[in-house]
A and B are shown apart, each in its own frame.
Chain A
Amino acid sequence: MNSHQVTVNNLPAVEINDLTVAYNEKPVLWDIDLSIPQGVIMGIAGPNGAGKSTLIKSILKLVKPIAGKIKILGEDYDKVRKRIAYVPQRSAVDWDFPATVFDVVMMGTYGQLGWFRRPGKIQKALAFDAIQRVGMEEYADRQISQLSGGQQQRTFIARALVQNADVFLLDEPFAGIDAKTEKSIMQIFRELKGEGKTIIAVHHELITLSDYFDMITVLNIKIYASGKVEDVYKKEIIYEAYGGHFNFSQNESILD
C-alpha cells in the first residue's frame, strides 16, 4: 500500500511494533508486531500465561513495556483515550461493591466527564439506552452482587457501550456466561462492526474461536499467526502455539 494514499479511515485500529513486556525480568510478551485493521472482530487466542491480557493492558497503557511502540487509530493512547472502551475480566472487580447495574453502567460516562463533573440527564439517558441494548432493563436497579455471571458480563458490555468508543478491548468476554448472554454479546459485536467499530477480545477457548471472530491472533509470548480466521485457524499453527498445553484428542475434529 502506498503510504500517501492512506486516509484516516484506513489507519489500523491498533498498530504494535517491537513490543516487549516483562514481569520481574521474565518476558511475558516478546517482540510483538501486530496490526489490527478497523471494523473487524479480532480474537486474541493462546494458552494460559500466553500474555493475552498483558497485550490488551499494554495497548491501554496499564502495563509498562520494556520496548516497543503502540499506536491506536494512528495516535498515542493519551490522545485517543475517549475513543477506546475497555472491559476487564469479570474477576478483576469486587462484585460485592454496593452498587446497582445502573450505577456500574454510569461509570462508563465518567471518562467523558473527567474530574469533578457530575453525571446528569444526558449521561443517565445514555446509560439506560446501553442497559436496554444488552437486554438488562429489568435488572437496572438490581444489586450487582445478585447478578449471574452472564448478567455481570452484560453489565460490563453496557458500561463499555456508554463510552461510545471506536475501539473496544475486552478481556475474556465469553468466559463463564449463559447462552442468552453469548447471543446478546455476539449480536452487539456484529452491530458495532456494522457501525465500523473495532472489537478486540481475548478468548482462551479454542472450540468457539471461529464462531465468534472474523480475525484471530494466535499468541504465546510471541505471535504465531494473525489474520483472517480461515488463514489462521489451522492445526499446525494452533499446535505450535499451544505446544504441550493443548489436548488434541478433544479438539482435533474442529481443526482441519
Chain B
Amino acid sequence: MISLMVLLIGLLTAIACAIPGSYLVLRRMSMMSDAISHSVLPGIIIAFLIVLDRSSPLIIIGAALSGLLMVYLTELISRSKLVKTDASIGLVFPGLFSIGVILISMQMSSVHFHEHSVLVGDITLSALNNLVIDGVDYGPKSFYILGSVILINLLFIIIFFKELNLTTFDPQLSEVLGFKNLTLHYLFMTIVSITAVASFDAAGSILVIALFIVPAATAHLFTRTVINMIIWAIIFAIISSISGFYLSIYFDAAVSGGIAVMCGVVFLITLTLVKLKAIRA
C-alpha cells in the first residue's frame, strides 16, 4: 500500500514538473529552474519553523517567495550589466541554498529534515504523512498538494497560452505589441517555484531539474507544436516515473534517483529514434 502511494506521488510529481518544464526548455531557462529548486530551501525551512507542519500550504507560499527572491536578485545583478545572466544565477542561488543548509544543521538535526533528503528527496516520508480530518484518513497530503499544483500549472498554461508562446518565441515583438514580458516572466517563475516546492519531497532540490527539463527536452526532439510538446512531455514523465519507481525498488535505491535515471534513458532512446527518423509528432 505504501509503495503504491510512493509510486503515485512520484507520478504526480513528474507530471507537475513536465508542464512548466516545456516552457523552461523553450525559454532556455534550465539553469534557472535548478537555481529555483535550490533557492526554495531557506523558504521551506523558515516557513516550517513558523508553522511546524511539513505539509502545510504555508510552506509552499514561503518557499515560492524565496524562489522569487532568487529570480529578483538575479535580475537585479544581471541588469547592472557587470556580470552575465548565468553568472548572476550562480552568484545568488548557492547563497540562498547555503542559508537553508545552515538553518537545517542548526535548528533541526533532530527533526526529519536531513541534508540527504534535501538533496534527493524522501518520497517515503511524504507517503506516510496522511491527511486526517475528524479521524477519517484521506490518504497522503502530498496527493492534494501535487494535484492542486498540476491543476494550477495546467490553468496557467491554458490561460496564458498565446502570451507564453509569443514572449518565448519573439520577446521583442511581444513588447512591441504591448504585452508585459517581465510580468509574465515573474508569473511563470512563481509557477516554477510552487512546482519546485511541491516536488521537494519526491525529488529534493538536485534531481528536480531532471523532472523539469528531461521529459520536455525529450519531447522537443520531435514535436512540431507546443501543445504536442507538452502532451509528450507529460507522457514521458509518466513512463519515467513508473519505470523509475520499479528500478529503484529493484536496486533498493532512492526513488528520485530511479526516476531521474529513467528520464535519461527515455531521452537517449528517443534521441536514437529521432536520429533514425523513426518518429515524428
Q: Quick check: is A67 within 8 A (CB to CB) of the other chain?
A: no
Interface residues of B (CB under 8 A from A): 26, 28, 81, 159, 162-163, 165-166, 168-170, 172-173, 175-179, 220, 223-226, 228-229
28 A-B pairs (CB sep. < 8 Å): A57-B172, A60-B175, A61-B175, A81-B177, A81-B178, A84-B176, A86-B176, A88-B170, A88-B172, A88-B173, A93-B170, A94-B26, A94-B169, A97-B26, A98-B220, A98-B224, A98-B225, A99-B226, A103-B165, A103-B225, A107-B166, A107-B170, A107-B173, A110-B162, A110-B179, A115-B163, A119-B162, A143-B224
- Point out the residues of chain B lying under 8 angstroms from A103, CB to CB: 165, 225
Shortest Cβ distance from residue B124 to the other chain A in the assembled complex, whole angstroms: 37
Q: In the complex, A92→B223 CA distance in Å?
A: 22
The 3 closest A-B pairs by CB, nearest first: A111-B177, A97-B169, A86-B176
Choice from A57, A99, A118, A119 contacting B169 with Cβ under 8 Å: A99
Choice from B172, B178, B226 contacting A111 with Cβ under 8 Å: B178
Q: In the complex, A98→B175 CA distance in Å?
A: 21
- Point out the residues of chain B lying under 8 angstroms from A99, CB to CB: 165, 169, 224-226
Dominant secondary structure of chain B at its interface with chain A: helix
Q: In the complex, A119→B166 CA distance in Å?
A: 13
Most chain A CB inside 10 Å of its own CB: which residue of B28, B166, B170, B226:
B170
Q: In the complex, A116→B81 CA distance in Å?
A: 33
Q: Quick check: is A241 within 8 A (CB to CB) of the other chain?
A: no
Q: Quick check: is A249 within 8 A (CB to CB) of the other chain?
A: no
The answer to whether A110 touches B177, judged by C-beta atoms less than 8 angstroms apart, is yes
The answer to whether A62 touches B163, judged by C-beta atoms less than 8 angstroms apart, is no
Q: In the complex, A235→B168 CA distance in Å?
A: 43
Q: In the complex, A70→B228 CA distance in Å?
A: 43
Q: Quick check: is A24 within 8 A (CB to CB) of the other chain?
A: yes
- Point out the residues of chain A lying under 8 angstroms from B163, CB to CB: 110, 115
Q: Quick check: is A199 within 8 A (CB to CB) of the other chain?
A: no
Q: In the complex, A88→B174 CA distance in Å?
A: 11
